[in-house]
């Protein structure tokens, strides 16, 4: 059955974990995670979106809700980077937590937009994202090694978590697939091209219609180089909830409307402190619950594949 699309709420953008009525993985028995699939499906996208949303809950609640879907969850953190490795007898899901409310402005920090060499392959990547992944990699790698090589490993996340999932998928040698929601751009055109060549149909990226985070860091027009570029097969969520592969026409949005990307941080801070009362659509579209419901409805209407 289709689900009612939630009313956008800034509270659930900045604090997803305060959504006391949300039931994670509701429908998991009907839509099992296909561990043997060789391409990313709507079912994979839904499981990883639900898991990405759940990373915002506290460890006790999150572990219990993962267990309700048949997943044993292990919490990993290093510095401010947090993630769960949730596993069943058939598959492993690695999901990274997104930006916390009091650090939401960090997503828009100009100082972190520098492209630096990707330490584990070709191309350039976002310096801040690479550093954040480095803080947890040793623990993550040890956990995956201990779980053994027999189960496919899938990566996911929301917002900052989506960016870290992309880098982790690229770094892990045996990644089965990746599906992210509300991801910023992670690397340059070369990194994106090599990522897409490697994963092809095993990588999905869901982008809500006016979600501003999916438009940062802004790309530079050719022939400027280096420049940021998105990875993965686009799944664009239209204003009415339909999902298509047609890109939104907002790549100019950051530059045209704000001029300076840093101004976005001022908007977020003003909303968080109450100076600004009405949240703009480009922030409300970042709400992770909105993504999970739309992905479920797409699955319900079109099937799991």
Q: Could you give the CA distance from residue 73 to residue 92 in angstroms, rounded to a whole number?
A: 10
Does this model's pTM top 0.75? My answer is yes
Residue 101 clears pLDDT 70, i.e. is over it: no
Contacts of 125 (CB under 8 A, 6+ apart): 115, 116, 117, 118, 167, 186, 187, 188, 191
The domain made up of 10-302 has a fold known as: Rossmann fold (3.40.50)
Which pLDDT score, from 0 to 100, does residue 102 have? 64
- Say if residue 231's pLDDT is above 60: yes
DSSP symbol at 37:
-
Burial classification of residue 293, based on how many CB atoms lie within 10 Å of its CB (0-12 exposed, 13-18 middle, 19 or more buried): buried
How is the chain split into domains, by residue range? 10-302
CA 158 – CA 71 distance, rounded (Å): 19
Which pLDDT band, with edges at 50, 70 and 90, does 14 fall under? confident
Cβ(84)–Cβ(47) under 8 Å? Answer: no
**125-163 in b/e burial notation, b at 16+ Cβ within 10 A?**
bbebbbebbeebbebbeebbeeeeeebbbbbbbbbbbbb
Instruction: Give residue 244's pLDDT band: very low, low, confident or very high (50, 70, 90).
Output: very high
Look at residue 259 in the predicted model and tell me its pLDDT.
45
Distance between CA atoms of residues 24 and 51, nearest Å: 8
Beta bridge partners of 84: 75, 95
């Amino acid at each position: 059955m289709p689900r009612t699309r939630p009313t956008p709420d800034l509270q659930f953008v900045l604090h997803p974990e305060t959504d006391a009525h949300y039931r994670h993985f509701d429908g998991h028995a009907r839509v099992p995670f296909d561990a043997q699939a060789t391409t990313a499906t709507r079912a994979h996208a839904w499981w990883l979106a639900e898991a990405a949303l759940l990373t915002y809950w506290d460890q006790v609640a999150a572990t219990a809700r993962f267990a309700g879907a048949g997943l044993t969850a292990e919490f990993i953190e290093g510095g401010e980077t947090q993630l769960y490795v949730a596993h069943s007898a058939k598959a492993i899901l690695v999901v990274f937590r997104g930006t916390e409310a009091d650090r939401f402005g960090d997503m828009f920090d100009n100082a972190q937009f520098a492209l630096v060499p990707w330490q584990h392959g070709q191309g350039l990547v976002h310096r801040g994202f690479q550093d954040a992944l480095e803080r947890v990699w040793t623990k993550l790698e040890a956990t995956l090694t201990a779980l053994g090589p027999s189960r496919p490993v899938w990566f996911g996340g929301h917002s900052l978590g989506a960016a870290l999932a992309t880098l982790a998928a690229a770094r892990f040698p045996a990644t089965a697939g990746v599906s992210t929601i509300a991801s910023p751009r992670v690397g340059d055109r070369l990194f994106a091209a090599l990522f897409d060549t490697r994963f092809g149909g095993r990588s999905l990226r869901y982008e809500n219609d006016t979600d501003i985070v999916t438009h940062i860091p802004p790309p530079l027009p050719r022939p400027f180089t280096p420049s940021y570029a998105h990875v993965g097969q686009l799944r664009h969520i239209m204003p009415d909830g339909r999902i298509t592969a047609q890109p939104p026409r907002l790549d100019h949005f950051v530059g045209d409307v704000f001029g300076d990307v840093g101004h976005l941080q001022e908007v977020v801070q003003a909303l968080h402190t109450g100076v600004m009362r009405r949240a703009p659509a480009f922030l409300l579209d970042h709400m992770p619950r909105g993504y999970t419901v739309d992905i479920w409805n797409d699955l319900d209407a079109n099937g799991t594949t």
